[in-house]
Structure 1
Amino acid sequence: MTDEPALGWESNRRVDHDTVFLIAVTVMAFIVPIFMIFPPLPVETSDALRQTHRKLGRPAHRSKLPSRSTPEQQPQQAKLPTIKSLFIYPIKSCRGIELDRSRVLPTGLEHDRLFTFAQLKPMAGQSGRWECLTQRQLPLLANVKVDVWLPDPSKKSRELGHSDARFLVVRFPWQAPGWRGTMHFLAAKLSRGLSASPEKQFILPLDFPSQEEIKARTYEISHVKIWEDVVQVLNMSADLPPQLAMYLGAKHQLALFRSDPSSRRQVFRNIAAPEDTLGHESVVDFQDGFPIHLLNLSSIQALESLIQKDKISGPPEYDEDDWKSVRFRRSGMPEESSVFTVTCHTVRCKLPNVDPATGVRHSVEPDRSLRKYRQIDDGAPRMGCLGMQLCPVFPNTGTPAQLESYVEAGMDVEVLKRGPHRYPG
Structure 2
Amino acid sequence: MEFTAGGVFLYLFAFLMLILPLIIFGIESLTGKVAAPTTASSHIPKPPPTKIQEIRIYPIKSCRGFKVQKTKLLKTGLDLDRNWMFADASTLKFLTIRQISDMTLIDTKITDDDSLEVSISTKPNIKISIPAHPSEIWLTLNTELVKDCEIWGQKVDGYLYSTDLTAPFSEFFGKEVRLVYKGPTPRPLKGNADPRVLGRIESTKFADLMPIQVSNQKSIEELNYRLKTSGEAPISIERFRPNIVVEGEEPWYEDVWKTVRLQPSDWTAENGKGDITMDVAARCARCQVPNVDPDTAVKNKKQPWNKLMEYRRVDEGITFKPCFGMLCVPREEGEVRVGDTFEITEVTGDHRYIPGM
TM > 0.5 between the two?
A: yes
Whole-Å Cα distance in 2 between the matches of residues 254 and 351 of structure 1?
A: 21
Residues 204, 239 of structure 1: 8 Å contact kept = no
For residues 221-240 of structure 1, the aligned pairs below 5 Å read: 221-240=146-165
Alpha-carbon distance change, 204 to 264 in structure 1, aligned in 2, over 3 angstroms: same
Q: Of the two, which has the highest radius of gyration?
A: 1
| Structure 1 position 208, deviation (Å) | 4.2
SS in 2 for 1:243: helix
Whole-Å Cα distance in 2 between the matches of residues 283 and 231 of structure 1?
A: 12
Q: Which of 316, 339, 343 does residue 410 from structure 1 map onto? A: 339
Quote the residue 1:291 is aligned against.
211
Residues 192, 354 of structure 2: 8 Å contact kept = no
Q: Which of 359, 378, 389 does residue 297 from structure 2 map onto? A: 359
Whole-Å Cα distance in 1 between the matches of residues 100 and 86 of structure 2?
A: 10
Are 1:134 and 2:63 counterparts?
Answer: no
Quote the residue 2:313 is aligned against.
375
Q: Which of 311, 314, 330 does residue 392 from structure 1 map onto? A: 330
Quote the residue 1:7 is aligned against.
none
Residues 277, 393 of structure 1: 8 Å contact kept = no
| Structure 1 position 374, deviation (Å) | 0.3
Which consecutive residues of structure 1, in runs of 5 or more, have no partner in the other structure?
Answer: 1-77, 121-127, 152-165, 176-197, 395-403
Whole-Å Cα distance in 1 between the matches of residues 247 and 279 of structure 2?
A: 19
Whole-Å Cα distance in 2 between the matches of residues 215 and 418 of structure 1?
A: 46
Whole-Å Cα distance in 2 between the matches of residues 297 and 114 of structure 1?
A: 26
Q: Percent identity?
A: 27
Whole-Å Cα distance in 1 between the matches of residues 261 and 139 of structure 2?
A: 40
| Structure 1 position 389, deviation (Å) | 0.4
Are 1:168 and 2:116 counterparts?
Answer: yes
| Structure 1 position 80, deviation (Å) | 2.8
Whole-Å Cα distance in 1 between the matches of residues 353 and 207 of structure 2?
A: 17
Q: Which of 167, 170, 190 does residue 268 from structure 1 map onto? A: 190
| Structure 1 position 223, deviation (Å) | 2.1
Whole-Å Cα distance in 1 between the matches of residues 340 and 136 of structure 2?
A: 37
1:206-248 per-position Cα deviation (integer Å, ceiling 9, x unaligned): 234435x446435352522111311011111435343323333
Quote the residue 2:133 is aligned against.
207
Are 1:259 and 2:182 counterparts?
Answer: yes
Whole-Å Cα distance in 2 between the matches of residues 348 and 339 of structure 1?
A: 25
Residues 89, 97 of structure 1: 8 Å contact kept = yes
Residues 118, 254 of structure 1: 8 Å contact kept = yes
Quote the residue 2:263 is aligned against.
329
Quote the residue 2:282 is aligned against.
344
The size of the alignment, in residue pairs, is: 291
Residues 166, 179 of structure 2: 8 Å contact kept = no
Whole-Å Cα distance in 1 between the matches of residues 298 and 276 of structure 2?
A: 37
Whole-Å Cα distance in 1 between the matches of residues 310 and 126 of structure 2?
A: 41
| Structure 1 position 167, deviation (Å) | 2.1
SS in 1 for 2:309: helix
Quote the residue 2:352 is aligned against.
422
Q: CA RMSD in A?
A: 2.4
Are 1:302 and 2:217 counterparts?
Answer: no
SS in 2 for 1:92: coil
For residues 46-65 of structure 1, the aligned pairs below 5 Å read: none
1:324-365 per-position Cα deviation (integer Å, ceiling 9, x unaligned): 000111345132321111000000001111111221111121
1:293-350 per-position Cα deviation (integer Å, ceiling 9, x unaligned): 0000111111122222211113100000010000111345132321111000000001
Residues 166, 178 of structure 2: 8 Å contact kept = no
Residues 353, 364 of structure 1: 8 Å contact kept = yes
Residues 329, 413 of structure 1: 8 Å contact kept = yes
Whole-Å Cα distance in 2 between the matches of residues 199 and 143 of structure 1?
A: 14
Alpha-carbon distance change, 338 to 100 in structure 1, aligned in 2, over 3 angstroms: same
User: What code does the residue aligned with 1:116 have?
Assistant: M
Whole-Å Cα distance in 1 between the matches of residues 68 and 79 of structure 2?
A: 11
Residues 87, 177 of structure 2: 8 Å contact kept = yes
Alpha-carbon distance change, 372 to 143 in structure 1, aligned in 2, over 3 angstroms: same
| Structure 1 position 424, deviation (Å) | 0.4
For residues 20-31 of structure 1, the aligned pairs below 5 Å read: none
Whole-Å Cα distance in 2 between the matches of residues 411 and 138 of structure 1?
A: 36
User: What code does the residue aligned with 1:317 have?
Assistant: P
1:376-396 per-position Cα deviation (integer Å, ceiling 9, x unaligned): 0000012100000010013xx
Alpha-carbon distance change, 413 to 273 in structure 1, aligned in 2, over 3 angstroms: farther
Q: TM-score, normalised by structure 2?
A: 0.75
Residues 192, 198 of structure 2: 8 Å contact kept = no
